[in-house]
Amino acid sequence: MMTYSDSESSHGGGKEYKVFRQFSRDRLLHEMLGESTSGEGSKSSWKVLIMDKVTVKVMSHSCKMADITDQGVSLVEDIFRRRQPLPSMDVIYFIQPTKENIVMFLSDMSGREPLYKKAFVFFSSPVSKDFINNIKSDISVLPRIGALREMNLEYFPVDSQAFITDHDSALVELYSEEAENSPYFEICLYTMASRLATVFASMKEFPYVRYRAPREQDGSPAATRSLIPFKLAEILWKCLEKYKSIPNYPQTETCDLLILDRSVDQIAPVIHEWTYDAMCHDLLNMDGNKYVVELPGKHGGPPVEKEVILDDNDPVWLELRHAHIADASERLHDKMTTFKSKNKAANINRDGELSTRELQKIVQALPQYNETVEKLTLHVEIAGTINECIRDMRLRDLGQLEQDLVFGDAAAKDVINLLRSLQDASTENKLRLLMIYAIVYPEKFEGDKATKLMQLAKLTPEDMKAINNMKYLGGSPQSKKSSSGFSLKFDGGQKTKHAARKDRTGEEEETWQLFRFYPMLEELLENLNKGQLPKDEYACMNEPAKDSKSQRSTNSTAPNGRRPAHSMRSRRTPAWARGHCSDDGYSSDSVLKNVVPDFRRMGQRIFVFIIGGATRSELRACHKLTAKLRREVILETAVAVRKGYPQNSPETPQLVLAS
């Protein structure tokens, strides 16, 4: 009775290449909903869909309600709510394999009068043999089951190339003081690993599992925390070994997985990122990907509020989200101007009479014209609001100092001068600046020095706990060297530059000012692609053979060289971030479609999992490297890619999960 999903991976075998999110969506809609119907009716027969709290999230992150109804679902129900009997309709259960869910399912379908006609049961993750035996032992239920399958879909796509395992409290449960003595420690690790494993089972991928190796071996709490990536890799490996029995599951490695924790880069979550995407999430009052924008009223009327969703279904957002905010603003203005000048509907009030044919063309153009102008107007208003925030908060000065600190071009006196000149800056912005300073210059953030900076910034001891708690993530401001810091020497015998990151400006296409910063993830993934990750720092659960190398991009690297940052208007967004767009603002729906016309030449996928949260800059790096390496890079993390403000708790490690 128990069967597995036997869909083939889209990576090879002549199959059409599907990007990550599309893969998940198609499995839910076609493999689960589309194929679930009793033999007496057609596939278009109406049916009921029953889910629990977790699977509702899985479904909502991949599909719209319209997609679900298109597959013949007329009613969506919660398994734990009282439901009306519908004995003439088939039912689909998409549920976790928990004892409570099994009990509810048997209660629905057992006895003389079951709630539904035929049940098609799909589990989001592997189900135990005991639960299967419980189902088989109920002789009244067994004939009413049309399917009993493991879908292995217990992850939540948040982008075409990113998903979460939905562990908002991962930092607290895994990295807080005495966390390893809490029962939530093992539960969090196991759940995270099992959900991550369902990604590989679902996509028929078997990874080389690499992980950030422990930094200490002395049995201290810090050493225990540095073991977390290894522990997660170990649990994941046991899950993957079990999946080898699934039909068509590969027996040899097909992709790369890199498991990291936040200690690999503590700067990325706190520094201001200057892309349109990051600025929206950092500066605007967004609820996930929803934002309420205030638009000018028509005919001089009062302003009106409109809720917009910034996601993959918005072509303007797709085109501009990874562009520098200044570039995005310019391009929006140019697109609006060009569209209006070319569209006949924009010139309807011109002098002279119009012919019947001209009027007909204008009427036909109006719906598209109005829709496009409305979409562009929304983004013009959003970009305008962001630029106002940047001016009001003097973020350019702050952002310049943040990046100068990271690249070794600023020191204590620059921080002191800015804090004196920005007395009205928000607590969050001052705290973020000091966190960067503490990471780059840990030796200058000790004792009285830290206290004086706190007083100058008008911060409280409670605020400063966010900085002190960074030690739980492996980057204590008391340590003499940051985990991500290193020094750079310059020509001419000059003094060594104290930098936390090397300047890669000359290695890439020209960029805008304040676009120098890049997350360490970008460099790590490039080294992984080249097979150059140090084994003592990034160990492998299943060491690849010496002559075995992942498929890699044939792109050559641009010659090295350094260029100083120019003014805001002197540089353009790199070509990888540009979509194939037209004057109406519409572009294709994936960076893969923009840069890789022949998907058969795509190399093996790269998955990267960051314990404790990821950032907008790291998501941008994954999109960028997908184009550069010709390998789909999929970002995985415990919590949503977002920004958050540090919570001031003395016993928990707090990090601003920022854009």
For residue 363, pLDDT over 50 is answered with yes
Topology given in CATH for the domain delimited by 158-265+602-637: Rossmann fold (3.40.50)
> Residue 554's pLDDT is what?
38
For residue 604, pLDDT over 50 is answered with yes
pTM for the structure as a whole: 0.84
H/E segment holding residue 133: helix 129-137
> Residue 73's pLDDT is what?
95
- CA dihedral over 521, 522, 523, 525, signed as positive or negative: positive
CATH 3.30.420.40 is the classification of domain 20-154: no
DSSP string, 591-605: HHHHH-S-GGG----
**Residue of higher predicted confidence among 345 and 127:** 127
> How far is residue 434 from each of residues 440, 448, 464, 468, measured CA to CA in Å?
10, 15, 9, 11
Q: Determine what percent of the chain falls in helix, strand and coil, rounding each to the nearest 5.
A: 45, 15, 45
> How far is residue 445 from each of residues 147, 463, 477, measured CA to CA in Å?
62, 15, 6
Minimum mean pLDDT among 211-220, 375-384, 549-558, 635-644: which range?
Answer: 549-558
Domain boundaries, the chain: 20-154, 158-265+602-637, 276-347+356-393, 396-474
Structure tokens at 139: 């002789």
Structure tokens at 301: 């009327």
Alpha carbons 630 and 526: distance in angstroms, whole number: 12
> Residue 345's pLDDT is what?
56
**Residue of higher predicted confidence among 169 and 29:** 29
The pLDDT of 6-31, averaged and rounded, is 71
For residue 378, pLDDT over 70 is answered with yes
For residue 657, pLDDT over 50 is answered with no
Q: Residue type for 584, please?
A: D
Minimum mean pLDDT among 80-89, 130-139, 587-596, 627-636: which range?
Answer: 587-596
Contact between 526 and 256 under an 8 Å Cβ cutoff? The reply is: no
Tell me which long-range contacts 396-399 makes (C-beta under 8 A, separation of at least 24): 396/514, 397/421, 397/422, 398/272, 398/422, 398/425, 398/429, 398/433, 399/272, 399/274, 399/514
For residue 343, pLDDT over 70 is answered with no
Q: What is the DSSP letter of 75?
A: E
Instruction: Give ∠ CA 563-569-570 in degrees, rounded to 5.
Output: 30
Q: What is the DSSP letter of 494?
A: P
Each residue of 447-492: pLDDT tens digit? Answer: 888 899 999 999 999 988 888 888 888 754 444 443 443 332 323 3
Asked if the domains at 158-265+602-637 and 276-347+356-393 fall in one CATH topology, the answer is no
Q: Report the top-level CATH class of 276-347+356-393.
A: alpha beta
The pLDDT of 21-50, averaged and rounded, is 82
> Residue 352's pLDDT is what?
52
Structure tokens at 592: 């893969």
> Residue 486's pLDDT is what?
33
Spacing of C-alpha 635 from chain mean position: 6
Each residue of 488-527: pLDDT tens digit? Answer: 232 333 344 667 788 776 666 556 778 889 999 999 999 9
For residue 387, pLDDT over 60 is answered with yes
For residue 561, pLDDT over 70 is answered with no
**Residue of higher predicted confidence among 242 and 222:** 242
For residue 157, pLDDT over 60 is answered with yes
> Please, which pLDDT band fits residue 567 given cuts at 50, 70 and 90?
very low
